[in-house]
Structures are given as C-alpha cells and as structure tokens.
Chain A
Amino acid sequence: MVIAPTAPAERAAPLGIRLCGIHHGYRIGGVFTPVIGDVSLDIAPGEFVALLGPSGCGKSTLLRLVAGLEPPHAGQVLADGAPVTGPGPDRIVMFQDPTLYPWRTVRANVALSRDIAGRRDDAAVDAAIGMVGLKGFERAWPHQLSGGMAQRAALARALVNDPRLLILDEPLGKLDSLTRLTMQTELLRLWQKRGFTVIMVTHDVEEALLLATRVVTFRPRPAGVISDMSIDLPYPRHRDNPRLLALRREILVRLGHSEDW
C-alpha cells in the first residue's frame, strides 16, 4: 500500500469541539419533537470519541450540528473556540451510506473536495486512493464497487482534504463483519498517523471500545449524556482483553441491558 510521504508539519492541527447546552428538535406532523435535550461535551483536539446509544436517539442529529449542516435550536457549537455557522471543509462527514456520486468515477468522487475548492491536486487524490487500497479502481463507476470498496472510496474522499475533524456517522454499520474488521484497523491506523480529531457515532459497543479514546453514552430521545468514560487501553486492542470485556459490560448495563449480557 502506498502512503503519501507527507511531513507531519504540513498537516493542519486537529480541531477541538465544544458543545454548550445543545437543544434541538424537529417538527413532525405539526408537533414539535425534541431530539436533543441539553447536551454539553468538550472534545479535545486529537481525541477519538465514540458516541454510543440506542438507534434513533439523536446522535446523528448531533453530528449534523457539529458539521454545521443545521444550526441548533439552542446552545452553541464551538470549533476551536469559534462558533460554527455552517459546514466547512475542515470538518468532513462520512455517512452510513458511502453516498458516492454515481455519475463520477471513483477518482472523480475522491477529488470532489478539490473540485469544490477549484483546485487540481492530483498527487493528493492519488495518495488518498492508494491509502485506502483502491489503486487500479480509479476509473470504476460506483455501481461496480462492493459495499466495502465504496465505503473505502468515501473514506478516501473524506481524507483527501486533510480534515481537522472527521465526523463518522456509523460508517461501518452496513459492512459485512470481515470488511468491518479491516476497515476498523484502517481507520485506527489513519487516525494515529494523521492525528485528526474523530467523532464517531456507533451502536456497536465493541467497536467503540476497540477504537475510541473516549466513549460517551446517550439515553434515548431526547438525547442526553448518561456516561462519559476514558478508555485508557493501549492500541492495538484485542476483543478478548478482560479490561475491555469489563468496560463493555459496564456500558451495556448503563444502556439498560444488564440482563442481556
């Protein structure tokens, strides 16, 4: 696998995110439904934070607010101390679906952010494609890719821009378990190498514990933090590590699954 020889000094510094008293909701059928109720979080630059919670609890909405795709009803999102007013190229989102543009080749998809910025940066695009192991597939159409390959292409598209914050909305949720393992390792390697901040939504407790430096658990809608724990285990972590198993049990209990374990 080819890795771009980029000196760490050229990299943009990771972004710190602070959420202050976030409230948010949607009008569904004329009735206001609160989705997020008073969430405050402080994410240090370079952290890998996993947001855990039952599905539909508002985690994804929280990510949209951090990305700047929507403004919160109340409260503030600060990126390095400055309020977030809209989406920006230093905060890249990766969705559960690869959402590659079907009318663009893999290469043109990866080069999307370059097109938007009006820049041609072939070296960076090639490096990103090589980094996720898609060399040789540059000219393929998205419909010709497997689910795992499409998600890799989406990862390359996110990374080509050298983001300061990577926002991951269950990016591995739809992959088969083997592809998922590979992608987890890949993601971890990239985070360690590039040093950006990661906020990842998942409902897989094990995945959160394998990857994140910090796991924040949410209660169901309206979302609120129930626990916030640092995972000070060294990498690479192993699934059968007794500490990890204990943490997994603890988190499941907090999520209200004491009997299922």
Chain B
Amino acid sequence: MSGAETTQAIGPAEAGRTHAPATPRRATRALRHIVLPWAAGPAWFVASLLTWRVPDADDFPDTNELAALFAGIGVALLAAAALRRLSARAPWMIALGLGLATWEVAQAKLLLLPRPFFGTPQDLLDVFLTDWKRLGDSLLHSLGLLAVGYTVGSTLGIATGVGLGRSRHFRYWVLPVVRLVGPLPPVALLPLAFVLFPSNWLASEALMALASGFPVTILTWSGVAAVDPAYYDVARTMGARNRFLVLRVALPAASPQIFVGLFMGLGMSFAMLVIAEMLGVKSGLGFYMQWAQGWAAYPDMYAALLVMSAMCTGLITILFRVRDRLLGWQKDGLKW
C-alpha cells in the first residue's frame, strides 16, 4: 500500500525529469545563446541606416557621424557575438539600439517632441564632439571638489563614530553637537557658509564634509557599539592595548556598518556637490548644467547629466568593489 503510494508520488516527477520534451528548453537556450547575441548588431545597423538614409526634419549637426557611430557599435556587437562574449547583455543591447533608433526617428526625422527641451541624438553627440574639453574639465573640477569634501567628511565621520562608540567622555561632549548639527540638511547652512568661509570653495568643501560625515558617524558609532564585548576580552587577555582594540578589533568588526555609512555619505555628498556648484562654485558639472540651462542649451545639459550619472555610478561602483574586497569574509553581501 505504502509502496504503491511512494511509486505514485515519485512517478510523475521522475517522468518530468526524464521524458519531458527537451525542445522548449533547448529552444530557450538557442534563443539566449545564439539568436539574441547575433541580433544585437543588426539592431544597431537598423538604427544606423534610419539615421543615415531618412532625411532630417531640420538642419541637425553630425547626422552622418551618428550613423557611423551606430554602425561601429553594430560591428563591435557582431564581433562580440562571434567571440561568444555577448549572451547576458544581448537583450539590453538590442533594446538600447532599437530605443535610440526610435528616438532618432521620433525627433530628428519627425519632430514629434517639443523643442528645445527635447534634443535629437545627434545634438547630444555634437555636444560631446565640440564641447568635450569643457565637459571633461567640469568633470575634473567636480571630482576634485567631491574627493576633498568626501574624504575629509568620511575620515572625520569614522573617527567621531569610533569616539562615540568607545569613550563615555567623548560621547558626553560630542553627542549633543552631533545631534544638533547632524540632522540639519547641510543645504540650510549654505547661505551662512558662503558668508563665514573666506572662499566659496572652502564653504562647499566644509558643507560636503558635513553632508557625508553625518551618516558615516552614526553608522560607525552603531557598528562600534554593537561589537561583541568578548572580541575585546579575547584581545585584552593577550595583552592588547587600546590602539589595537580600536584599529584591529573595533574597526574591522564595525566595517560592514561603516560601509553602509560611506555609501549613504557618498550619496549625500553628490547632492551637496551639485547644489554647491549651482549656487557658489564657478566650475564643475553642476555649474555647467546651470550655465547650459541659462542659454537654453538643453543638449549640453543632457550631456552634463550623462557625464554626472556616469561619475556617480562609477564612484559607487568603486566603493562597492573596495567593500567586496575588504568584506570578503562576510557570509553574504549584496552585489552592486
């Protein structure tokens, strides 16, 4: 009786494993590994052909250059497909190629969207081709401003957080200040900062350090406060002094939390960077965007936005790479 039941229970599952038609799965595999990778290049050729052959609705710059760029990307994608380097990204590349083709047709050929707020792909390309020097310069200025403020802010944040977590005296004197200043949006201090500091640059750096320092402080503190006291006992019985306990026990134990703080702080400093560049500092991507908007040069603004987005996501990627290296010991961690 029970034997028959078991057979019945196992029967269908086993049949499913061995006799189920393998064709659908094989078809999916073929689609994923052959059809889609080889379709990515042609999608971009379609975009290139539409750009090149369909006449523009207005006098746009760089139409042929754009067609050539699309074609070049198409060739690169075909090469990637031939080298079997393109299965995971193939659907994205197809969508991107077709999306750009749609934009090109909708705006450059048919003028469906109101100008000047919506440019054409060739407008955007033109900005990169003609104004790359100023864009690059703005990027470097932004990175410089960010690097100083963020580094100072997060270093001070980690130090303050460790102090709050380890010393009662430090907590007594510093915590009220942290509670008073930290939750304040740093933007609120902007008018004051531009008056108080001798230069706009210094004011912006101070505000960016404040913006990134607060989350780093709080998360470092919570990380250090949560360290298992037994970890300290182990090191102390082996003769460890305070320096070792802070640098080699508290900091590594709190590092998962500290990285969350560094991540949040980086986001805060991006926000502060753009605000500072739009309001006080006369350089950088934020200033470029402000300027472009003033001249109604919307393609320039989109270009600056693209560069800024690449910068922010690049910096966050770097932060996560560092984190993955340093926190490889964790059982599980999220991947950026």
Given A101-B249, A101-B253, A102-B329: A112 and B234 interface contact (C-beta under 8 Å): yes
Q: Does A95 contact B (CB under 8 A)?
A: yes
Within 8 A of A (CB), among B42-91: none
Contacts of A104 in B (CB 8 A): 252, 329
Q: Does B148 contact A (CB under 8 A)?
A: no
Minimum distance in angstroms from B182 CB to a CB of chain A: 28
Q: Does B222 contact A (CB under 8 A)?
A: no
Minimum distance in angstroms from A150 CB to a CB of chain B: 13
Partner of B237, one of A93, A105, A142: A93
Contact assessment for B255 and A87 in the assembled complex, using a CB-CB cutoff below 8 Å: no
Contact assessment for B237 and A67 in the assembled complex, using a CB-CB cutoff below 8 Å: yes
Contacts of A88 in B (CB 8 A): 237, 239
Of A28-36, A113-121, A184-192, the one touching chain B: A113-121
Q: How far is the CA of A167 from the CA of B240 in the complex (A)?
A: 17
Contact assessment for B230 and A95 in the assembled complex, using a CB-CB cutoff below 8 Å: yes
Interface residue count for A (Cβ, 8 Å)?
Answer: 29
Q: How far is the CA of A103 from the CA of B228 in the complex (A)?
A: 13
Contacts of B330 in A (CB 8 A): 102
Mostly helix, strand, loop or mixed at chain B's interface?
Answer: helix
Contact assessment for B239 and A116 in the assembled complex, using a CB-CB cutoff below 8 Å: yes
Partner of A92, one of B237, B240, B244, B252: B237
Q: Does B331 contact A (CB under 8 A)?
A: yes
Q: How far is the CA of A115 from the CA of B244 in the complex (A)?
A: 9
Q: Does B235 contact A (CB under 8 A)?
A: yes
Contact assessment for B238 and A89 in the assembled complex, using a CB-CB cutoff below 8 Å: yes
Contact assessment for B249 and A69 in the assembled complex, using a CB-CB cutoff below 8 Å: no
Q: In the complex, which residue of chain A has the Cβ closest to the Cβ of B255?
A: A103
Given A103-B329, A143-B331: A87 and B236 interface contact (C-beta under 8 Å): yes
Minimum distance in angstroms from B227 CB to a CB of chain A: 10
Q: Does A99 contact B (CB under 8 A)?
A: yes
Contact assessment for B253 and A103 in the assembled complex, using a CB-CB cutoff below 8 Å: yes
Contacts of B238 in A (CB 8 A): 87, 89, 92, 112-113, 116-117, 161
Contacts of A99 in B (CB 8 A): 228, 230-231, 233-234
Minimum distance in angstroms from A108 CB to a CB of chain B: 10
Interface residue count for B (Cβ, 8 Å)?
Answer: 21
Interface string of A54-86 (1 = CB under 8 A from B): 000000000010011100000000000000000
Contacts of A89 in B (CB 8 A): 237-239
Q: In the complex, which residue of chain B has the Cβ closest to the Cβ of A96?
A: B230
Contacts of A105 in B (CB 8 A): 329
Minimum distance in angstroms from B242 CB to a CB of chain A: 12
Q: In the complex, which residue of chain B has the Cβ closest to the Cβ of A102?
A: B329
Minimum distance in angstroms from A259 CB to a CB of chain B: 37
Q: Does A97 contact B (CB under 8 A)?
A: yes
Partner of A115, one of B237, B248, B252, B253: B248
Q: Does A141 contact B (CB under 8 A)?
A: yes
Contact assessment for A103 and B235 in the assembled complex, using a CB-CB cutoff below 8 Å: no
Could you list 30 A-B pairs, sorted by A, with CB under 8 Å? A64-B233, A68-B237, A87-B236, A88-B237, A88-B239, A89-B238, A91-B237, A92-B237, A93-B233, A93-B234, A93-B237, A95-B233, A99-B231, A99-B234, A101-B234, A101-B252, A103-B255, A104-B329, A112-B234, A112-B235, A112-B238, A115-B248, A116-B235, A116-B239, A116-B240, A116-B244, A141-B329, A142-B329, A143-B329, A143-B331
The 10 closest A-B pairs by CB, nearest first: A113-B238, A89-B239, A103-B252, A87-B237, A99-B230, A93-B237, A116-B240, A87-B236, A103-B329, A143-B331
